Amino acid sequence: MTDTGSRAGEVVRGTDGRAVLRFRRVHDEPVADVWSAVTDPDRCARWFGRWSGDGRPGGTVELVLTSDEDGGGAPSTVLVRDCEPPHRLVVDIREGDGEPWELSVTLTPDGGGAVLVFEQVLPDGFSPADAGPGWHWYLDRLAAVLAGAPMPDWEATLAATAPYYRG
């Protein structure tokens, strides 16, 4: 069973008053290694999705989510709003005509390891239950890639985390 305790996301208010789903994960690997796993297209593809394009601030990339469960999907357009290697990445992911998903990753050193803070600004009317289990699973996949561990099972993660995010 997936532990939802310290690895679960929480809803906080951003400085603009909007709801933000925030995850805090501690990794044994150094900041540079976690940064590489998040931003290198080949490493990112192992846990989240493959991207190609201009990854500099103001640039756009095409992202295809990958997983053992579905093998990927249609590409999404990602606008890179901020990129400060190896500590901060802010992007907007747009799928179709909907409101973009505003995402950020911040990395800080923690001894020889790293603290990763992942945030999604929740669009108005969007429930944490609609995103929490998925981000929980993807962040567990990142941890598995970094540690060389088996990938988490989506169905088990969903069953364990969905009640937590429904409140």
pLDDT tens, residue by residue, 9-27: 998 988 888 899 999 999 9
The predicted structure's pLDDT at residue 60: 93
The predicted structure's pLDDT at residue 18: 87
The predicted structure's pLDDT at residue 108: 98
The predicted structure's pLDDT at residue 5: 45
Asked whether the beta carbons of 116 and 7 are under 8 A apart, the reply is no
User: pTM for the whole thing?
Assistant: 0.90
Distance (Å, whole) CA 36 – CA 31: 8
All structural domains of the chain with their residue ranges:
10-166
Kindly report the backbone phi and psi dihedral angles of residue 65, in degrees, each rounded to the nearest multiple of 5, phi listed first.
Answer: -65, 140
Measured torsion, CA atoms of residues 96, 97, 101, 102, in degrees rounded to the nearest 10: 130
The predicted structure's pLDDT at residue 124: 84
The predicted structure's pLDDT at residue 67: 63
Cα→Cα distances 83→90, 106, 109, 119, Å: 6, 10, 17, 15
The predicted structure's pLDDT at residue 3: 37
Q: Right CATH number for 10-166 from 3.40.470.10, 3.40.30.10, 3.40.50.150, 3.30.530.20?
A: 3.30.530.20
